Structure 1
């Protein structure tokens, strides 16, 4: 009996330690910049160094964007010992030297692979080489792995097995590496990805630079399409367990390339601001993909709003719950660590409209001081709010009880 008790206690201890590591690796949603939407696979180490320099100079790192993610297209095959190697034309100095440079800027470096023989863009991937690749990534100083699922079987059992194998390999690699499960949500990874070792998991197909899918393109998700999937998954999110609504398209303005495919014609700054508001209150990772070396003032204002970022990075780790969803209006509520609440009010209609709400309709009793996080000022005090909301605008408030 004593032996059984000790085994049970040891199992609980291992599970507890694993759960704590899960939280420690990504206690808040990861933030950073990713290569894919702007460069696709036409990447070069010079571009990534320039982006790192710009992110430091423009205050993005100080604001919390502390990752640079190399997406698909960096691979140069395998050497005579089957070690993964970078493309020597794209990364002549090697990934280790790039990681050292990024780390010297106070940032972390992420990399990409796929749970199949080839990646989405047709480059060398990691199936059958999980432990070897994980150790290679660790030796380079990699801090994050985005693990895709192109060219892989569509059944859930295979996906769980392949993701678990890489999760175990990362844990044994000798380095703490955040694990992003990029299965696109079709196999409901919110049910199994954390147990496979992931700290975050994609919930939808790739985001396109558009407000919504008009039905003419299959799997061409706009902001609203992703919102309507991710909004219902709040129960699965928390520290070290994040629903990933995919990258920010803020500031791309319909740039040709991955986000511009399949109807990605670009959006207005109001719509880009809505994505930032909604991704923040839903506790999704905030991964910019625009050319941060050449941002206009509107894009800088959206991406660098520290009050909005604070909602996303709140240590309590709650994803907002959508309390109102009537076809025109969406209202989200997110509890914050200090007892405040974040409230987002989205006007989905194609025209500007007035809106009024009593906080009691959201389950919030009493009187509140309401701070507008985009205007950086008090928007009222009392038991509710009323005002004008532009078409496709999301008002984002912080409520403090008075």
Structure 2
């Protein structure tokens, strides 16, 4: 009997320690920059070093964007011992040297693979080599793995098995590596991805550089399409377990490439600002994918807004709940650690509209000081707010009780 109790408590301790380790890898939503929507698979070490430099020079690292993720296209096959290798033409110095350079800038390095034989772009993937690849990534000092699901079976059971295998391999690799599960949502990863070892999981198909899918094409999601899926999943998010609404397309302006496919013609700065506001209150990872080397002032203003980022990175780790939902207005409420509340008001309509709201409608009693996080100033005090909201604009307020 004593042995049975000892076994039980030992397993309980190991389980608790594993849960704590998972949360410690991503206590707040990861922030960074990813190669995919700007470069596609046309990547090389020179461009990535330049992006690391630009992330520092632009203030992105200081603002919290501390990951640089290499997406699909880095692979060069396997060597005679079946170790995965980088393309020697694209990465002549190797990934370890690149990781050293990125780390010297105060940035963590992410890499990409797929739970099948080939990746989405047709490169070498990790099925059957999970432990070997995880150890290789660890030996390169990689900090983050995005694990895709192209060329894999559609059923949920296979996905759970394959992701769990890689999750265990990463845990045994000897290095703490944040695990991003990217099966796009059809198998409801919010129900199982954390137990498979993931710290974040994509909830939808790839984001396109557009406001809304008007064509009813499959896998052609705009900002509103992703919002309407991700907003319903707030109960599944928290420290170490995040609903990933995919990359920020801020600053792409319709660039040809992955985000420009399927009607991705670009958006207005107001719409880009809305994505930043909405992703922030939903506690989604903030992963930029524009050309950081050449950002205009509007893009910098949106991506580097520290007050908005603070809402996303709030240690309480709550994803906002959508309290009001109709064809014109969406209102989100996100509790913050210090007792403040973030409120986002989205005008989904194609015309500017006036709006008024009593905070009590959102379950917020009493009076509040209202700070507009885009205008960086107090815009009201009391039990309500009223004002003009532009088409596709999202007002983002921080409410402090008075």
TM-score interval (norm. to shorter): over 0.9
Deviation at 1:9, TM superposition (A): 1.1
Query: What corresponds to 2:312 in structure 1?
Result: 312
Deviation at 1:79, TM superposition (A): 0.3
Distance 2:39 2:105 in 1: 22
Query: What corresponds to 1:60 in structure 2?
Result: 60
Deviations 1:89-123 (A, max 9, x none): 10011000000000000010000000000000000
Deviation at 1:6, TM superposition (A): 1.5
Distance 2:392 2:364 in 1: 25
Distance 1:333 1:5 in 2: 44
Distance 2:22 2:335 in 1: 22
TM-score scaled by structure 2? 1.00
Deviation at 1:155, TM superposition (A): 0.6
Query: What corresponds to 1:331 in structure 2?
Result: 331
1:202 matches 2:202: yes
Deviations 1:344-380 (A, max 9, x none): 0000000000000000000000000000000000010
Deviation at 1:326, TM superposition (A): 1.4
Dislocated runs of 4+, deviation >6 Å:
none
Query: What corresponds to 1:250 in structure 2?
Result: 250
Deviation at 1:215, TM superposition (A): 2.8
Distance 2:400 2:166 in 1: 43
Deviation at 1:212, TM superposition (A): 0.4
Distance 1:219 1:143 in 2: 29
Query: What corresponds to 2:236 in structure 1?
Result: 236
Distance 1:10 1:356 in 2: 56
Give the SS at the match of 2:311. helix
Distance 1:115 1:58 in 2: 35
Distance 1:57 1:290 in 2: 15
Distance 1:215 1:359 in 2: 37
1:341 matches 2:341: yes
Deviations 1:243-286 (A, max 9, x none): 00000000000000000000000000000000000000000000
8 Å contact kept, 1:217–1:263: no
8 Å contact kept, 1:71–1:111: yes
TM-score scaled by structure 1? 1.00
Query: What corresponds to 1:121 in structure 2?
Result: 121
Distance 2:178 2:214 in 1: 35
Deviation at 1:3, TM superposition (A): 2.0
Distance 2:366 2:124 in 1: 58
Deviation at 1:397, TM superposition (A): 0.2
Query: What corresponds to 2:180 in structure 1?
Result: 180
Distance 1:317 1:216 in 2: 34
Alignment RMSD: 0.5
Give the SS at the match of 1:230. helix
Give the SS at the match of 1:337. coil
- Number of corresponding residues: 402
8 Å contact kept, 1:67–1:108: yes
Distance 1:215 1:227 in 2: 17
Name structure 1 gaps, 5 residues minimum: none
Query: What corresponds to 1:351 in structure 2?
Result: 351
Deviation at 1:2, TM superposition (A): 2.1
Distance 2:347 2:99 in 1: 42
Distance 1:197 1:215 in 2: 36
Name structure 2 gaps, 5 residues minimum: none
Distance 1:8 1:401 in 2: 46
1:170 matches 2:170: yes
